Structure 1
Amino acid sequence: MDKEAIFYELMETIYETSRVINSYESIPRKYGTEDELYMIEVHTLNVIGDQVKTTTSEIAEIKNCTKSAVSQMVDKLIKKDLVVKYRNPDNYRELNIELTPKGKLVYDYHKKLDLEEYRNYLKKLEQFTAEDFEKYITLLNVINRKTQSVLNDKKSTM
């Protein structure tokens, strides 16, 4: 197979992977509490937990989505007692978002689960070297930047 055909197959495989991941993410799960959470909720908790204290704008930038979408998600997480939102004492116009103790439990549980899952994947990928993974990361970053550029162009024309 020539380079172009292999690249075409790679792109089709990436799209298929995206579809499989989207299906996988649509299944609610328990993450150390009785609450069933969707991955989008847990990944939002991860962003908040990784930042320790953050704002809607920061989360939107990290997740590449709108502040409105983040606000809706944060409201859901508040109702589930996973995050709190409060005024920044140093900047009254800014609202800070932090994990609650229950949110921290979910955050820690998910981090541990990811680590175990990634280790299981790694066992099945022993034939690949660290350099192979680095090349794939580079390739995906190029594709992601190009795709993000197209998205940004579309947003600016709306």
Structure 2
Amino acid sequence: MDKEKVFYELMETIYETSRLISSYENIPRKYGTEDELYMIEVHTLNLIGDQVKTTTSEIAEIKNCTKSAVSQMVDKLIKKGLVIKYRNVDNYRELNIELTPKGKIVYEYHKNLDLEEYRSHLRNLEQFTTEDFQKYITVLNLINQRTQSVLNDKKSKVY
């Protein structure tokens, strides 16, 4: 098979993986509390927990989405008692967001769940070397950079 055909197959496989992950993410689950949460909520909690204290602007930049979308998600998480939002004492215009104790339970539970899932995948991929994974990471990073560039170009154009 020639390089172009193999690359086309790779891209189609990436799209299929994306569709499967999207379907998987749409199943609500419990993460160490009584709440059923969607992956988008838990991944937002992870971003907040990884930063310890953050803002909607910082999360929007990381997630490559609007501040409005992040604000809506944060409001949902506040209602569920998973995060708090408060004014920054050094910059009154800025609102800080951080995990509540309940949010920290979900954060830790999900981190451990991810480790178990990743280990399960790794056992299933024993035939691949560290170098194989590194090459795949390089390919995906280059595809991501190109995609991000296209997204940035689209955002910067006024219609």
TM-score (norm 2): 0.98
- Rounded Cα–Cα distance in structure 1 between residues aligned with 2:91 and 2:155: 30
Give a deviation string over 1:12-55, Cα, whole Å, max 9, x none: 00000000010110111100011000000000000000000000
- Rounded Cα–Cα distance in structure 1 between residues aligned with 2:91 and 2:15: 43
- What is the CA distance between 1:156 and its match in structure 2? 1.4
Q: Percent identity?
A: 85
1:148 matches 2:151: no
- What is the CA distance between 1:154 and its match in structure 2? 1.1
- Which runs of at least 4 in structure 1 moved beyond 6 Å after TM superposition? none
Aligned match of 1:104: 104
Q: Which amino acid aligns with 2:27?
A: I
SS in 2 for 1:53: coil
Give a deviation string over 1:130-158, Cα, whole Å, max 9, x none: 11111000000000111111111111124
TM-score (norm 1): 0.98
- What is the CA distance between 1:126 and its match in structure 2? 0.4
**When you count strand as a share of all residues, which structure comes out higher?**
1
Q: How many residues align?
A: 158
- What is the CA distance between 1:95 and its match in structure 2? 0.5
Aligned match of 1:85: 85
Aligned match of 1:44: 44
Q: Which amino acid aligns with 1:132?
A: D
- What is the CA distance between 1:109 and its match in structure 2? 0.1
| Aligned-residue RMSD, C-alpha | 0.6
- What is the CA distance between 1:10 and its match in structure 2? 0.4
- Rounded Cα–Cα distance in structure 1 between residues aligned with 2:23 and 2:155: 26
- What is the CA distance between 1:90 and its match in structure 2? 1.2
Q: Which amino acid aligns with 2:63?
A: K
Aligned match of 1:137: 137
Aligned match of 2:118: 118
- Rounded Cα–Cα distance in structure 1 between residues aligned with 2:20 and 2:115: 20
Give a deviation string over 1:98-137, Cα, whole Å, max 9, x none: 0000000000000000000000000010000111111000
1:56 matches 2:28: no
Aligned match of 1:75: 75
Q: Which amino acid aligns with 1:78?
A: I
- Rounded Cα–Cα distance in structure 2 between residues aligned with 1:149 and 1:101: 38
Q: Which amino acid aligns with 1:7?
A: F
